[in-house]
């Protein structure tokens, strides 16, 4: 029996790894669907909340969330988000031309009004956001920096530069919106695969219902081209299904009658009927969607650091800007207030932390999106960081590295016994058992056992079956069964490593069948890729016989393997590795793996064959059940980390250089615009690169 204290420890460890979603503002389904493109939320990168193209007036910022820290809208006008910025740009260029040619009427209030209109078209929302954020205590933010800098530029008569700063800032925000929307496409596509209606057969009649109204036990009809709305078993087949939206696999799967089909699959050819086995909210698809939605709200350590950094950094640069105006008065002989004020304003524009605040979460969001396209679900960006740091991978055997499906490998009758007769009698008897090995025997024998009379069947727990088959007494099970009924058998039978079914007919030993679970096609590739990727220790833990476990480990090239383990034994091994200071990922699929998945630094579940308990406990879910995806997930995690830190260094280096130049009077507002908006755009383009990478 599992140790209750161990279960409690596992639960506490798992809870410690989970982020409370109510504290992180996890995105909802409505925020990720196309309809959300007309709502205020726009995209949901932590720290930024850009309104999309639905706003029709410069007043769209009225919906700004005052209690939201850095959240803000830069709602574009009309159906074209670039309309007001375009008008502002035209006015700016026109004004610069009028200044250049020194047109007589373009002076005084005319000039101020001209540039003032150009400024308000793009700056009104930003200034309003700065004011609305004050009551919540969020005073020092990018809106305040932009507002002070641009209004200050107007105060000293630098109208074109004031307009240019706000205009390019607004255009930069629009590009940020576009980049985030691109990063969301793969996740939004996943969310759109839920069917909105389903055809249900009840009482001999066909009716169209909302999937939420369908109950377990109902039969639904899926026409060619339609999405399966609910999980179930195929009752009218065969049928071919496109599973790309669920698994990322392009090749269609053919399902036979009695096989499982999942919500989100698309029926490709013939009419299919499915017996519903899970309600709408309990389908695997619904759980996958919940994981994706939750993932948006879980921040990596780098994101958390940048958020905290920005809150300290912004007031410091405001204070430095004030000192840049005041201190020179006491130390510079030819002090000119306007000159030093201009330098301080340049300093403020440069210091805006947009590049960090938006591009870093966008980088992680891109990593989650790229993984989802590859059939890998990260439950939070924090797990991208942790997976990159692991040095040890511990894996379950059955269903993880092996196919989880037993098959007869060898039939070895004793001399004088017809192999076909042995298979016929044993197969008929095994039809009375639900054991996985019995099912493998029945499947192997096939039609040969059909119609054979089977009577007086007795299942002897831990031993096997006894019964009368076609008028003959038959035993089928393990060697303990033969010993129990005093049937002698050759001693070499005890040396067989595979799972074995020994048989006796009419009290005499008749031979044996070996049954084994074959490794998955990419199991060996997985081990090789992980080792090449820097994993220094690969371990296999299994509840199967140790001899079988060791043979599979040897065939796959695994460093260390232990078999015959109970769930608490697996947890004990994993805890030993953790205590030794190893950063560890555990990969499993069964219910008994859930405690170990929770215990590991990163728990990875096989999402196709995996149990719901393990999938819900895991930090990463591999939808395709291919273990090689572990190495793919590592590559995505490393690429995300690389891009994020490239952006951090780009922002710090460029801003640091231009800040120094601005304080010394060597940088103008135009350089400040590049240091802010230009760097932000470069960082965003770099982050979007993750979506284009091949993993």
User: Which residues are tagged catalytic?
Assistant: 396
**677: closest CA among 353, 361, 364?**
353
Question: What distance in Å separates the CA atoms of residue 662 and residue 658, rounded to the nearest whole number?
Answer: 6
**466: closest CA among 525, 425, 416, 519?**
425
Structure tokens that stand for 266 in this block = 């698309």
Question: What distance in Å separates the CA atoms of residue 109 and residue 107, rounded to the nearest whole number?
Answer: 6
Sheet holding 205-209, edge to edge: 205-209, 198-202, 219-222, 272-276, 232-236, 260-261
Q: Within a 10 A sphere around the Cβ of 494, how many other Cβ atoms?
A: 9
CA dist 642 to 49, 365, 390, 649, Å?
A: 25, 14, 16, 11
Structure tokens that stand for 36 in this block = 């959300």
To 5 degrees, how large is the angle CA 377–CA 608–CA 440?
A: 160
Distance of CA 150 to the CA centre of its chain: 41
**363: closest CA among 381, 349, 379?**
381
The phi and psi torsions of 540 (rounded to 5 degrees) equal -120, 125
Spatial neighbors of 674 by CB under 8 A, at least 6 apart, are 658
Q: Which helix (DSSP H) or strand (DSSP E) does residue 406 occupy? A: strand 402-413
Question: What distance in Å separates the CA atoms of residue 25 and residue 308, rounded to the nearest whole number?
Answer: 17
Residue pair 672/349 in contact by the 8 Å Cβ criterion = yes
Peptide bond into 301 cis (omega under 30): no
**121: closest CA among 149, 79, 156, 89?**
89
Question: What distance in Å separates the CA atoms of residue 615 and residue 286, rounded to the nearest whole number?
Answer: 12
222 HSE (CA, 13 A, CB side): 38
**451: closest CA among 467, 471, 430, 428?**
428
Q: Within a 10 A sphere around the Cβ of 204, how many other Cβ atoms?
A: 5
> How would DSSP label each residue in 8-70?
HHHHHHHHHHS--GGGTTPPPHHHHSGGGGGSS-----TT-----TT--SGGGGGG--TTSTT
Structure tokens that stand for 629 in this block = 């995806």
């Amino acid at each position: 029996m599992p140790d209750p204290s161990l279960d409690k420890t596992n639960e506490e460890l798992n809870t410690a790894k989970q982020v409370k979603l109510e504290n992180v503002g996890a995105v909802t389904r409505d925020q990720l669907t196309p309809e959300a493109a007309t709502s205020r939320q726009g995209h949901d990168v932590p720290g930024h909340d850009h309104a999309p193209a639905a706003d029709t007036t410069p007043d769209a910022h009225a919906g700004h969330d005052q209690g939201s820290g850095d959240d803000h809208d830069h709602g574009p006008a009309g159906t074209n988000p670039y309309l007001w910025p375009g008008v502002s740009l035209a006015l700016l260029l026109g004004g610069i031309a009028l200044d250049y040619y020194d047109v007589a009427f373009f002076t005084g209030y005319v000039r101020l009004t001209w540039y003032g209109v150009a400024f308000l078209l793009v700056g009104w929302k930003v200034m309003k956001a700065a004011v609305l954020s004050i009551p919540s205590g969020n005073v020092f933010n990018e809106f305040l920096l932009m507002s002070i800098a641009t209004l200050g530029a107007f105060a000293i008569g630098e109208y074109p530069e004031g307009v240019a700063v706000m205009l390019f800032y607004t255009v930069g925000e629009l590009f940020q919106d576009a980049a985030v929307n691109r990063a969301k496409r793969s996740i939004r596509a996943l969310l759109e695969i839920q069917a909105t209606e389903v055809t249900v057969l009840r009482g001999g009649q066909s009716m169209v219902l909302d999937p939420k109204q369908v109950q377990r036990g109902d039969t639904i009809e899926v026409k060619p081209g339609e999405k399966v709305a609910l999980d179930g078993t195929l009752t009218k087949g065969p049928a071919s299904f496109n599973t790309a939206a669920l698994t990322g696999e392009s090749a269609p799967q053919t399902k036979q009658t009695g096989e499982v089909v999942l919500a989100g699959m698309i029926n490709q050819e013939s009419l299919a009927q499915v017996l519903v086995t899970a309600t709408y909210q309990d389908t695997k698809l619904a759980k996958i969607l919940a994981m994706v939605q939750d993932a948006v709200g879980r921040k990596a350590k780098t994101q958390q650091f940048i958020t905290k950094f920005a809150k300290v950094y912004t007031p410091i640069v405001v204070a430095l800007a004030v000192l840049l105006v005041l201190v020179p008065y006491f130390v510079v002989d030819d002090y000119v207030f306007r000159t030093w004020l201009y330098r301080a304003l340049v300093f403020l524009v440069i210091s805006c932390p947009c590049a960090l605040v938006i591009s870093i979460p966008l980088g992680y969001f891109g990593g989650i999106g790229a993984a989802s396209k590859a059939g890998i679900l990260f439950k939070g960006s924090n797990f991208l960081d942790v997976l990159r740091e692991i040095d040890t991978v511990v894996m379950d055997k059955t269903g993880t590295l092996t196919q989880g499906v037993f098959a007869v490998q060898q039939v070895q009758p004793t001399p004088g016994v017809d192999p076909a007769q042995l298979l016929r009698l044993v197969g008929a008897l095994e039809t009375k058992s639900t054991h996985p090995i019995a099912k493998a025997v029945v499947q192997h024998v096939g039609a040969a056992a059909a119609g054979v009379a089977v009577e007086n069947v007795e299942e002897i727990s831990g031993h096997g079956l006894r019964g009368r088959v076609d008028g003959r007494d038959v035993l089928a099970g393990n060697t303990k069964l033969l010993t129990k009924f005093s049937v002698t058998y050759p001693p070499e039978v005890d040396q067989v490593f595979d799972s074995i079914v020994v048989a006796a007919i009419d009290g005499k030993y008749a031979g044996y069948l070996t049954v084994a679970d074959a490794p998955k096609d990419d199991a060996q590739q997985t081990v090789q890729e992980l080792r090449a990727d820097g994993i220094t220790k690969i371990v296999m833990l299994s509840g199967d016989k140790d001899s079988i476990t060791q043979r599979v480990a040897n065939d796959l090239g695994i460093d260390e393997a232990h078999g015959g383990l109970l769930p608490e034994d697996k947890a004990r091994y994993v805890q030993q590795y953790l205590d030794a200071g190893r950063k560890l990922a555990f990969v499993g699929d069964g219910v008994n793996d859930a405690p170990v998945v929770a215990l590991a630094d990163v728990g990875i579940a096989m999402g196709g064959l995996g149990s719901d308990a393990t999938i819900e406990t895991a930090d990463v879910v591999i939808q395709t059940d291919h273990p090689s995806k572990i190495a793919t997930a590592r590559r995505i995690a490393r690429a995300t980390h690389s891009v994020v830190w490239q952006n951090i260094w780009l922002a710090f280096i460029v801003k640091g250089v231009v800040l120094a130049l601005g304080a010394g009077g060597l940088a103008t507002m135009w350089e400040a615009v590049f240091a802010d908006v230009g760097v932000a755009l470069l960082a965003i383009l770099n982050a979007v690169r993750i979506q284009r990478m091949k993993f």
